Amino acid sequence: MSQGPSYYKRHIFFCLNLRDNGEQSCAQHNAQGAFDRCKQLVKAHGLSGPGKVRVNKAGCLDRCAGGPVAVVYPEAVWYSYVDEHDIEEIVESHLKNGVVVERLVTPPHLGR
């Protein structure tokens, strides 16, 4: 059975996990603020909705050492971001134009 186009062209998932035990986690680095800013920008650029982009919350993505992190599918590109300017660049370059922001790609060896 052949599968047609995906419902969304791209998904971006933001880890919003907060560890209770004091270990490093994305929530300690304003991940919620980054998620909110991304959602706002995607909507403002007319990128949201079926056939376009979906911005999702996620629990732990197990890449804490690179945190805060977000991952874009279907390309499976992991990003480590610092501030809203990084989020703006991800939205404009990758989500809107399909061009990976190389300077923000999480190093492949960073896990938990």
Rounded mean pLDDT for each run of 10 residues along the chain, 112 residues in total: 74 94 86 97 96 96 90 97 96 97 92 74
pLDDT at 9: 95
pLDDT at 44: 97
One CATH from 3.40.50.2300, 2.60.40.1120, 3.40.50.150, 3.40.30.10 for 10-104: 3.40.30.10
pLDDT at 4: 60
pLDDT at 65: 83
pLDDT at 24: 82
Quote the tokens at residue 36: 């909110």
Q: Does residue 92 contact residue 104 with C-beta atoms inside 8 Å?
A: no
**What is the rounded end-to-end Cα distance, in angstroms, of the chain?**
38
| DSSP bridge pairs for 71 | 13, 78
Q: Residue 53 belongs to what H/E stretch? A: strand 53-58
Q: CA angle at residue 49 from 45 to 51, to 5 degrees?
A: 105
Q: Summarize the chain as % helix, strand, coil (round to 5).
A: 35, 20, 45
DSSP letter, residue 20: T
